[in-house]
Structure 1
Amino acid sequence: MAEKHSKPNFSHSQVSEILKRCYNLTTLEIHSLPSYDDQNFYVVPVEGCKGVLKILNSEDSEDLDLTEVQTFAMSFLQQKGLPAQTVLPSTSGQLMSLEEIDCGYGLQKYLVRLLTYLPGTTISQVPSTPQLLYETGQMAATMDKVLQEMRHPKISILEREKFIWSLTNVSLLEPYLHLLDGDPLQEVVKSIIHQFKTSVEPQRSNFRKAIIHGDVNDLNVLVEPDGNDGHRISGIIDFGHVQRDYYIHELAINIMYMMIEHPNPIEVGGPILAGWESVLPLKEAEKDCLYVLVLSRFCQSLVLARHSVTLHPENEEYLMITAKRGVYIVTHLWTLGKGQVEKVWFESAAQLNKKMAV
């Protein structure tokens, strides 16, 4: 039953004890932060220096090497001037600690790290202006481009071939489709998976491989006011999906999640695409597959959220955040069709690029 309870459920007193024992910090304030399958706490110690204590789920805690490389990626980006969190060492100089604790499900091992706190609010909570969307696409592309310079002796572990959240593995959703039995969404998802197999997979050899963040979503991008009634990006968080995959997958993931809170979702693609191409212009094959890849990410998000709710019903509200509007958006985009959606995206991207060039 390990999978059933892989999400940690640490109490505030357990968090305080870890902070004291591992970091010699006395807790003044602790707040839970939302998380998909880990546990995050905003902590303020008496000694100053706010932080985020991140406790990995017991399943991911088994892969120390993967977490080590992801932690290194965060630090690498921060050294290159990007607003990524970094991990603070414990009193013994360790960047992570494997804690064996009973948080309600018997003794299990959980990887614990103390991260720097980045100021700002999630981008989901502010208006998505074309300028901010442009900067989001630009930031995602810049980050992935910088990640290609990263060197680490265990870097091959990022070849996560069976990773269910990789856009390479959309067909791995098929065993979960029964969760949509009786729901009209099931036919839409089946059609998109078929389209993915027939139109994306044959072109994959023309995509550019890269190390990508893999989850530049509306809850993982932080913003703060820019002083001109707008916002600027102040942080990129959550590197749990870092993988060796394809550039175009990052762009599709970014577009998909930024649609969720937007009043007119189809308008999101153009500005993000323009920002992305200001750093990494797309190849024809990548452009041609973008529409189906965006819809495929909706399928992953909606189907895997249903699956997670069966495992963690107590976390349903957070797990189903995307689902509330996601069903409407993916159905609408599928009904509009590739030609119409691409026309909106590519034309507005071209207009924005022209405007930015002036």
Structure 2
Amino acid sequence: MAARESKPNLSHAQVSELISRLYCLTDSEIRPLPSFEDQNFFVSVSEGGEYVLKVVNSADSQNPTLLELQTHAMNFLHQKGFPAQTAILTKTGNLMSLEEIDCGFGPQKYLVRLLTYLPGTTIAKILSSPAILYEVGKMAATMDNVFQEMEHPNLGVLQRDNFSFGLAHVPLLEKYLPAIDGDPMQQVVSEIITQFKAEAVPKMASFRKCINHGDFNDQNILVMQDNQSRYKISGILDFGDMSSGYNIFELAIAIMHMMIESMTPVDVGGHILAGYESVFPLNEAERDCLFLLVLCRFSQVLVLTRYAVLQQPENEEYLALWYSRPGIKYLSLLWELGKHEVDRTWFECAQKYRDQH
């Protein structure tokens, strides 16, 4: 979690100067895009073309190896036919540039990248159908499979042992629990952490390993309508949470985030599960832990975004999208329904898809 001073706060003039100096481009339009810990801008240039300028927070900018690997992963997926962004080289031929910039609290160093702009609207803004939820699950599994083919000398940096948003590191939430003091869900989250240690950790040896996108959520998936007015995935954004993990993590993350946009949240998991298993069927240990891992992801989002608001009060409007949306209500709903009932809904739905094929 980046501290408040870590989040960049560039002015339009500073963005314009970077575009000109690093890429020899002349901006015709600059507008801010939402971001959790970094700063993103849509940039249209008079030479023709639309881009996203990403300014990485100063804390993460201290790990250029990880950022370079994330950028490599985006380019790799693009080469494999996935709708991922690619990085535009600077005029000196680099994927990114470390810039010292004063955003109002003294000069700090920020890594800057210019990425291609992908068309479409975030899946959060559409009414999710079973068909698009199935595609989300299928895309998540296909992406994880393709990542197995990716080679890079620094893949080891994806281990990220102290990454608080990593599903392998749910116990790290304990030190952030004071951020939700007074919230009735604090006790529930504490019990979920205890369950994770007792039930998920012993089964991890049976989980299949992969590289996770790590944040395959409703804000990071773009969709467009085809000629039949059906939605298809047109973009995969934000690889900042990439880490070494497990296939089941990607699935749990996707289910949790897609639930919070749905009028029938519990049903969402079955459609995404069906899509995921059409590519990568789960084993017994993974199936047994799916419900708990979805609860864990809900807990991470609730606690860590509340903590981030304490660190970045000026960014509360965006951060509140995560903790004040139906997410808390749905975590409570899942907790009350319990594993047996939710598993039955999800796995019976997935079985119906298999029966149809």
Does TM, scored on the shorter chain, surpass 0.5? yes
1:299 paired to 2:283: no
Match of 2:332 in 1: 331
Match of 1:31 in 2: 31
- The alpha carbon displacement at 1:191 in A equals 1.4
1:353 paired to 2:351: no
Q: Judge which range, 287-296 or 90-99, deviates more.
A: 90-99
Q: Judge which range, 284-293 or 153-162, deviates more.
A: 153-162
Match of 1:132 in 2: 132
Q: C-alpha separation between the residues in 1 aligned to 2:87 and 2:344?
A: 43
Q: C-alpha separation between the residues in 2 aligned to 1:95 and 1:199?
A: 42
Q: 5 Å matches for 1:306-325?
A: 306-323=306-323, 324-325=325-326
Match of 1:223 in 2: 223
Q: C-alpha separation between the residues in 2 aligned to 1:271 and 1:13?
A: 46
1:121 paired to 2:126: no
- The alpha carbon displacement at 1:186 in A equals 0.7
Match of 2:85 in 1: 85
Secondary structure in 2 aligned to 1:41?
A: strand
**1:43-80 superposed Cα distances (whole Å, 9 cap, x missing partner):** 00100110000000000000010001111000001000
Match of 1:76 in 2: 76
Q: C-alpha separation between the residues in 2 aligned to 1:243 and 1:30?
A: 31
Q: C-alpha separation between the residues in 1 aligned to 2:79 and 2:229?
A: 29
Q: C-alpha separation between the residues in 2 aligned to 1:297 and 1:195?
A: 13
Q: C-alpha separation between the residues in 2 aligned to 1:26 and 1:353?
A: 53
Secondary structure in 1 aligned to 2:10?
A: coil
Runs of 4+ displaced beyond 6 Å: none
Q: C-alpha separation between the residues in 1 aligned to 2:237 and 2:92?
A: 25
Contact (CA 8 Å) 1:255, 1:269: kept in 2 or not?
yes
Amino acid in the other structure paired with 1:346 = F
Contact (CA 8 Å) 1:84, 1:235: kept in 2 or not?
yes
Match of 1:178 in 2: 178
Amino acid in the other structure paired with 2:30 = I
Secondary structure in 1 aligned to 2:326?
A: helix
Secondary structure in 2 aligned to 1:268?
A: helix
Match of 2:205 in 1: 205
**1:172-230 superposed Cα distances (whole Å, 9 cap, x missing partner):** 00011122222111111111111111111111111011111111000000001122232
Q: C-alpha separation between the residues in 2 aligned to 1:178 and 1:95?
A: 39
Match of 2:65 in 1: 65
- The alpha carbon displacement at 1:320 in A equals 1.7
5+ residue gaps in structure 1? none
1:56 paired to 2:64: no
Give me the TM-score of the superposition, normalised by structure 2: 0.98
Q: C-alpha separation between the residues in 1 aligned to 2:182 and 2:69?
A: 42
Contact (CA 8 Å) 2:75, 2:84: kept in 1 or not?
yes
Q: C-alpha separation between the residues in 1 aligned to 2:353 and 2:83?
A: 25
- The alpha carbon displacement at 1:104 in A equals 1.0
Contact (CA 8 Å) 1:260, 1:322: kept in 2 or not?
no
Q: C-alpha separation between the residues in 1 aligned to 2:317 and 2:353?
A: 36
Secondary structure in 2 aligned to 1:36?
A: coil
Contact (CA 8 Å) 2:3, 2:312: kept in 1 or not?
no
- The alpha carbon displacement at 1:352 in A equals 1.9
Q: C-alpha separation between the residues in 2 aligned to 1:234 and 1:4?
A: 33
Q: C-alpha separation between the residues in 2 aligned to 1:115 and 1:94?
A: 13
Number of residue pairs matched by the alignment: 355
Match of 2:195 in 1: 195
